[in-house]
């Protein structure tokens, strides 16, 4: 038997041993297999990998989480792969514990696998998160060259730790943020097709399979071509004793028609990445089964071929073991009469003519790429799942409008993570989603595949006439002109809520659910990293602040950051600006007021409001105000300056302009909880794309990577310049809970959020801006029309209209990582705009 009290000779007895060496030595020599390292000198380690897998079901114990995590750390000398205690999983869920960051391990233990010889690992039980960009890793060029730290007698564990989970009997890892993407070394790719001479004299056609179903016969070989490929599906759950619970399906065809083919379990890692649209297969030892009635199918009417839907071809790793031969393209013979792959490329100018849910293929030049977000899969009965997606704009020269694309992960992580402006994007089998009163958008289907520049070679669509026409159009463009209209990242959600709010029904997924204020708190606390939710809250707006110089858009630094719980600041909400403005409303209908008259009325309202501020403040600036009033009274522009100066004088720092309702000071004292959110973060604002900063911009808009690379330590880009935003305080209808939400109006038609935005003119009151989402009129960033946009103090002067108004606020929620939870006002409805 192994002497568990001894440590490897390369570890024990070394003077000046590294932190990980000392920790393993203590774990190996103690009787409790548990040590507390908090009393040691500070010795942070860097996180270089985070890997996820389905947890083992424990009999008689409460399941803390559906998934487990292995975390690989380094002290610069050694690597150690550790199990993360389930009580710390929430740090991964919120991306507080992330690759490339430092942590202090304050308590850990040594865990032995009782069912496997010579297998054990360290378990991290308590930790502190340190610098988000590890200084230690700046000295590491390739973490794979660092030796793996293993206890003496357990050297075999090095092999197990290469790409296999530490705990239980799991055989593989899952992607860190979704279940669709292949993850790890088990996924075979790049294997050359076979040049074996095939015996095609005894093959059968697909049209014969339906009649042979349920009959006793030995299936003859099939010779088929792949026309469509679905994304990967993971169906693992507790108690399911299948090592590789995956399946994917294809639509295959021969000269007689098309049929579905399903690939199961171990065959997915072996073949999923080797099989592409256009690949020819020679299949033996397959099984026929009734078709799965709930499976989606691609739209293939343009093939004008017979579709056999009653049965499907099933390929299994055993019982029987299917034999799959990938035929080399040069070995495919014309006499096999396999159909050509065909596409349905649709120009942007034709999109409005397509019906709801119609399928189409598109090609375009990318001009905008949103950040990657996640949404929880609904109706899932097993372990929770998240889908990852991003919004994209692409132009093809046939319309002044771009394609608006909602692209979900299609099990092509190498493509999905590299989508950026100035690339040629192809998306197949997209589905049309019409929007009443606005532009339609396209969303992914299960059969959607995406391709970008660098991945088009060899794809069947390269010879399509529509593709060739698009390429010719792009040759007329100038890169520097297109670059000026590009954007990456930031908050983006499409379409905007409808003009009238309707009480959502349980089966209507497109409506924002109406939640109680207490439920909103729970939603904020349980959001996972980059998870997006849309909710509606009814109540009243009690305060609005304009934040002139938002500090929250600064780039994250390398300093240690304390991680706070969502509820930690619940009772420590900073009050609104020390001095506030009680603005009176303008008269008349905002929609019919001319810009000049509106500005005059706004100025008068602002001046009237200023007359009601405290005597001490007025006395402090009395002389200055009188001089300005006398010298500038004949100039409208000068009077606008006067109003702005007077508003700024209420706050010497000139960082905050604010309005609050007359009842808010008292109500604020009576609320049981004030949820302090509503800040504007670096990831909330889109930025211009540049080739020089491409890699950094991509990392910022993508999800946190599973594996650290040296590129993560590259210099960060400067924060986005944002002139300011509005912070809105919403008091729940029962006046018990309040929440702050940021409002960032669209101010230029060049912004990605302006595309498809209904731009009915309005009077630029606070309410009309919150309702419409933009300032009127919108102009190009390079034009002078922006000078007509109202100043923040002019807008705030109309906020008195919100006094005691019953409203419904649609909010966009998204966790950006750590304690950064984005709460943005999407739309505000008056009760007259609510359908009961």
The domains found in the chain, sorted by start residue, are 19-161 (2.40.50.140), 206-336 (2.40.50.140), 348-485 (2.40.50.140), 604-657 (no CATH)
d(CA 313, CA 116): 39
Residue 376 contacts residue 385 (beta carbons within 8 Å): yes
d(CA 320, CA 312): 16
Q: What is the DSSP string of 419-467?
A: --TTSEEEEEEEEEE--TTS--EEE--TT--EE-TTS-TT-GGGG-HHH
Which pLDDT value is given to residue 510? Answer: 62
3-state secondary structure of 194: strand
| Residue whose token pair is 């000026």 | 484
- Please name every residue paired with 282 in a beta bridge, in sequence order, or none if there are none: 223, 325
Residue 290: CA atoms inside 13 Å, Cβ hemisphere, count?
Answer: 3
Which residues are CB-neighbours of 604 under 8 A, at least 6 positions away? none
- Please name every residue paired with 12 in a beta bridge, in sequence order, or none if there are none: none
As given in the structure block, the two tokens for residue 462 are 């390269």
d(CA 427, CA 405): 9
Which residues are CB-neighbours of 821 under 8 A, at least 6 positions away? 524, 527, 566, 677, 813, 814, 815
Q: What is the DSSP string of 205-239?
A: -GGGHHHHTTS--PPPPEEEEEEEEPPPEE---TT
Residue 81 contacts residue 87 (beta carbons within 8 Å): no
**DSSP assignment letter at 634:** T
CB atoms within 10 A of CB 526: 14
Angle between helices 636-649 and 622-632 in degrees, nearest 10: 170
Which residues are CB-neighbours of 695 under 8 A, at least 6 positions away? 711, 714
Report whether the peptide linkage leading into residue 230 is cis, meaning its omega lies within 30 degrees of zero: no
Walk along the chain (836 residues) in steps of 10 and give the mean pLDDT of each run.
36 58 79 72 87 82 82 93 95 96 92 75 92 89 87 68 81 95 88 77 91 77 97 92 95 96 96 96 95 91 94 95 94 94 97 96 98 89 90 97 98 97 98 95 98 95 96 96 96 93 65 90 95 96 88 44 36 32 30 41 38 31 40 42 37 68 95 86 93 93 94 78 91 96 94 92 95 88 64 95 96 94 96 71
Residue 365 contacts residue 424 (beta carbons within 8 Å): yes
d(CA 502, CA 520): 19
Containing 52, the helix (H) or strand (E) segment is strand 45-54
d(CA 590, CA 598): 8
Q: What is the DSSP string of 303-325?
A: G---B--SEEEEE-SSSS--EEE
As given in the structure block, the two tokens for residue 481 are 């002109």
Nearest Cα to 81, choosing from 20, 4, 38? 20
d(CA 742, CA 128): 30
Nearest Cα to 493, choosing from 726, 158, 753, 280? 753
Residue 716 contacts residue 696 (beta carbons within 8 Å): yes
End-to-end CA distance of the chain: 74
CA distances from 829 to 115, 425, 612, 729, 806 (A): 61, 37, 30, 15, 9
Q: Is 444 exposed, middle or buried (0-12, 13-18, 19+ CB in 10 A)?
A: buried
Query: Rounded to the nearest 5 degrees, what angle is found at the Cα of 39, between the Cα atoms of 34 and 44?
Result: 90
3-state secondary structure of 476: coil
* Confidence (pTM): 0.86
- Which runs of consecutive H residues, i.e. helices, occur in 257-407? 267-271
d(CA 788, CA 786): 5
Which pLDDT value is given to residue 559? Answer: 43
d(CA 651, CA 617): 10
Residue 738 contacts residue 537 (beta carbons within 8 Å): no
Which pLDDT value is given to residue 678? Answer: 66
Torsion sign across C-alpha atoms 443, 447, 453, 459: negative
| Residue whose token pair is 């600006």 | 577
Cα 796–chain centre separation: 33
Which residues are CB-neighbours of 755 under 8 A, at least 6 positions away? 393, 401, 402, 404, 439
CA distances from 760 to 49, 499, 814 (A): 50, 11, 28
CA distances from 507 to 289, 512, 613, 808 (A): 32, 12, 51, 21
Which residues are CB-neighbours of 806 under 8 A, at least 6 positions away? 538, 539, 540, 733, 830, 831
CB atoms within 10 A of CB 740: 20
d(CA 531, CA 592): 41
3-state secondary structure of 813: strand
Nearest Cα to 532, choosing from 753, 371, 367? 371
Which residues are CB-neighbours of 532 under 8 A, at least 6 positions away? 373, 374, 375, 493, 812, 813, 814
Report whether the peptide linkage leading into residue 12 is cis, meaning its omega lies within 30 degrees of zero: no
Q: What is the dihedral of CA 819, 822, 823, 827, to 10 degrees?
A: 180
Nearest Cα to 398, choosing from 459, 345, 452, 457? 345
d(CA 794, CA 232): 53
Nearest Cα to 586, choosing from 599, 600, 602? 602
Nearest Cα to 397, choosing from 463, 344, 476, 456? 476
Torsion sign across C-alpha atoms 299, 301, 303, 304: positive
d(CA 342, CA 228): 10
As given in the structure block, the two tokens for residue 766 are 């606070």
As given in the structure block, the two tokens for residue 815 are 């966790």
Report whether the peptide linkage leading into residue 458 is cis, meaning its omega lies within 30 degrees of zero: no
Which pLDDT value is given to residue 592? Answer: 38
Report whether the peptide linkage leading into residue 399 is cis, meaning its omega lies within 30 degrees of zero: no
Nearest Cα to 332, choosing from 383, 281, 270? 281
């Amino acid at each position: 038997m192994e002497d568990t009290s001894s440590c490897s000779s390369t570890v024990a007895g070394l003077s000046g041993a590294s932190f990980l060496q000392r920790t393993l030595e203590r774990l190996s020599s103690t009787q409790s297999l548990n040590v507390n390292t908090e009393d040691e000198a500070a010795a942070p380690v860097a996180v270089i990998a985070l890997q996820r897998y389905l947890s083992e079901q424990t009999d008689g114990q409460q399941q803390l989480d559906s998934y487990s995590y292995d975390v690989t750390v380094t002290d610069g000398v050694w690597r150690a792969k550790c199990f993360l205690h389930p009580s710390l999983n929430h740090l991964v869920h919120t991306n507080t514990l992330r690759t490339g960051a430092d942590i202090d391990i304050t308590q850990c233990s040594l865990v032995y696998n009782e069912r496997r010889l010579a297998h054990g690992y360290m378990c991290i039980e308590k930790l502190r998160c340190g610098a988000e960009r590890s200084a230690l890793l700046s000295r590491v060029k390739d973490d794979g060259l660092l030796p793996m730290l293993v206890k003496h007698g357990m050297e075999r564990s090095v092999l197990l730790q290469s790409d296999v989970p530490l705990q239980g009997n799991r055989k593989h890892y899952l992607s860190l943020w979704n279940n669709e993407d292949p993850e790890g070394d088990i996924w075979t790719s790049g294997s050359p097709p076979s040049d074996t001479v095939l015996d095609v004299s005894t093959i059968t056609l697909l049209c014969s399979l339906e009649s042979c179903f349920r009959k006793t016969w030995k299936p003859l070989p099939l010779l088929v071509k792949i026309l469509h490929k679905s994304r990967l599906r993971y169906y693992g759950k507790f108690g399911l004793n299948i090592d590789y619970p995956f399946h994917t399906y294809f639509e295959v065809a021969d000269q007689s028609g098309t049929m579905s083919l399903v690939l199961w379990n171990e065959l997915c890692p072996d073949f999923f990445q080797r099989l592409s649209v256009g690949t020819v297969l020679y299949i033996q030892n397959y099984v026929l089964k009734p078709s799965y009635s709930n499976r989606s199918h691609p739209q293939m009417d343009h093939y004008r071929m017979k579709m056999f839907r009653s049965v499907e071809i099933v390929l299994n790793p055993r019982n029987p073991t299917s034999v799959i031969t990938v035929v080399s393209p040069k070995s495919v013979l014309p006499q096999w009469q396999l159909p050509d792959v065909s596409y349905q490329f649709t120009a942007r100018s034709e999109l409005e003519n397509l019906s709801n849910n119609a399928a189409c293929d598109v090609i375009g030049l990318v001009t905008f790429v949103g950040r990657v977000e996640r949404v929880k899969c609904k109706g899932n009965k097993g372990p929770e799942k998240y889908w990852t997606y991003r919004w994209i704009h692409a132009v093809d020269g046939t319309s002044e409008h771009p394609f608006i694309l909602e692209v979900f992960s299609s099990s092509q992580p190498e493509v999905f993570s590299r989508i950026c402006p100035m690339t040629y994007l192809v998306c197949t089998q997209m589905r049309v989603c019409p929007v009443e009163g606005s532009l339609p958008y396209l969303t992914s289907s299960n059969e959607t595949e995406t391709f970008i520049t660098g991945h088009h070679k060899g794809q069947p669509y390269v010879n399509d006439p529509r593709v060739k026409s698009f390429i010719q159009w792009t040759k007329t463009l100038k890169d520097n002109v297109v670059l000026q209209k590009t954007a990456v990242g930031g908050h983006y959600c499409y379409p905007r809520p409808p003009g009238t709010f309707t009480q959502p029904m349980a089966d209507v997924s497109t409506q924002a659910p109406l939640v109680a204020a207490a439920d909103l708190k729970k939603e904020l606390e349980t959001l996972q990293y980059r998870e997006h939710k849309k909710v509606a809250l009814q109540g009243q707006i009690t305060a609005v602040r304009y934040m002139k110089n938002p500090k929250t858009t600064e780039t994250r630094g390398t300093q240690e950051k304390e991680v706070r719980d969502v509820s930690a600041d619940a009772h420590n909400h900073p009050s609104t600006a020390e001095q506030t403005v009680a603005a009176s409303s303008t008269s008349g209908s905002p929609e019919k007021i001319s810009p000049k008259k509106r500005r005059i009325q706004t100025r008068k309202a602002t001046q009237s409001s200023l007359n009601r501020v405290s005597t001490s403040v007025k006395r402090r600036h009395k002389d200055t105000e009188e001089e300005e009033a006398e010298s500038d009274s004949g100039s409208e522009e000068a009077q606008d300056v006067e109003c702005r100066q007077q508003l700024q004088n209420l706050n010497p720092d000139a960082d905050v302009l604010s309005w609050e309702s007359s009842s808010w000071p008292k109500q604020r004292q009576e609320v049981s909880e004030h949820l302090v959110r509503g800040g504007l973060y670096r990831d909330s604002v889109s930025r211009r794309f540049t080739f020089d900063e491409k890699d950094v911009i991509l990392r910022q808009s993508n999800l946190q990577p599973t594996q650290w690379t040296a590129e993560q330590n590259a210099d960060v880009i400067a924060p986005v310049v944002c002139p300011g935003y509005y912070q809105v305080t919403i008091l729940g209808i029962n006046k018990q809970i309040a929440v702050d939400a940021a409002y960032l109006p669209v101010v230029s038609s060049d912004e990605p959020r302006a595309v498809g935005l209904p731009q009915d003119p309005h009077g630029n009151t606070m309410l009309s801006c919150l309702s419409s989402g933009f300032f009127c009129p919108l102009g190009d960033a390079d034009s002078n029309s922006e000078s007509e946009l109202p100043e923040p103090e002019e807008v705030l002067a109309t906020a008195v209209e919100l006094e005691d108004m019953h409203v419904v606020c649609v909010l966009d929620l998204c966790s950006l990582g750590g304690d950064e939870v984005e709460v943005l006002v999407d739309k505000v409805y008056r009760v007259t705009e609510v359908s009961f």
